[in-house]
Amino acid sequence: MTALALRCVGAEVTYTIRSHRPLIRDLLRGQRPAAQQVHAVRGVTFDVHVGESVGVVGPNGSGKTTLLQATTGLLPVSAGEILVRSVPAFLGVQAVLRNQLTGRRNIEVGLLAQGLDRAAVDDLVPAVVEFTGLGDAIDMRMETYSSGMRARLHFSVATATSPEILLIDEALAVGDRAFREKSARRLDEHRADSGTVLLVSHDLGEIRRSCDRVIWLQDGQIVADGPTDEVLAAYEAS
């Protein structure tokens, strides 16, 4: 049997949100803003094997992004456990980039953070710059970038070294058609190298094209987990 890339066992993620930022005077009076406990992921269990491409679907607020963030360690699990074969690369439109740095410098920092040495980074940077398609904007500060430009840059960095496990949160929905097609081809190459992909997307066409299996989340729980056509047919019918 193919080795496991990821195992999620009874995972739960709970966090607290407050109605507003507390004021010092209110804190001194012992008053705190109203707090709401959000149970975003509720006892989720599944395995993903090396080389699998799994789509994750569900309505807004169903826990999809929270599950990916917990898988990569950005959010702690409050119960259960998530085990991974190696540290996943998380690719999301909302991923944090360094605003004060140029696009080119962000590429260098991102590649160094993936464990490449300086010489390897210097060799790889030109190819990553070309893949972004950002032209002269690559030497402008990130704070001048649109959300689409940021997503292009982040996708290019995150997939430059074919991470063993890649988590994608709607990142393919940005950019023009040519860049989306180029991104899809790169993911195909990644999967061909036995890479493992979890893809969260509202674009069911992309899920059908990219994934053999789909997990349907609703209210933080798994409604269905199975072959893409079967699960998406039930999801669309709902």
Which residue is listed with tokens 């997939």?
159
Provide the pLDDT for residue 94. 47
Beta bridge partners of residue 216, listed in sequence order: 57, 224
Q: Whole-angstrom distance between the N-terminal and C-terminal Cα of the chain?
A: 34
Query: In angstroms, rounded to a whole number, what is the distance separating the alpha carbons of residues 102 and 234?
Result: 45
Q: Are 178 and 167 in contact (CB under 8 A)?
A: no
Provide the pLDDT for residue 97. 72
As given in the structure block, the two tokens for residue 149 are 């430009």
Provide the pLDDT for residue 76. 92
17-36: b (≥16 Cβ within 10 Å) or e: eeeeeeeeeeeeeeeeeeee
Query: Phi and psi of 216, rounded to 5°?
Result: -105, 115
Instruction: Give the rounded percent of residues in the chain with a pLDDT score beyond 70.
Output: 87
As given in the structure block, the two tokens for residue 113 are 């953070």
Give the confidence band of 182 by pLDDT, cuts at 50, 70, 90: confident
**155 or 192: which carries more pLDDT confidence?**
155
Residue 93 pLDDT exceeds 60 = no
Instruction: Note the pLDDT tens digit of each residue in 107-138.
Output: 998 888 777 899 999 999 999 999 999 999 99
Query: Phi and psi of 117, rounded to 5°?
Result: -85, 170
**Three-state secondary structure call for residue 41:** strand
Query: In angstroms, rounded to a whole number, what is the distance separating the alpha carbons of residues 234 and 226?
Result: 11
Provide the pLDDT for residue 177. 78
**64 or 26: which carries more pLDDT confidence?**
64
Query: In angstroms, rounded to a whole number, what is the distance separating the alpha carbons of residues 208 and 101?
Result: 37
Provide the pLDDT for residue 89. 81
Instruction: Note the pLDDT tens digit of each residue in 162-180.
Output: 788 988 887 666 667 788 8
Q: Where are the domains of the chain?
A: 4-88+163-237, 98-162
State pTM to two decimals: 0.77
Its CATH class, for the domain covering 4-88+163-237, is alpha beta
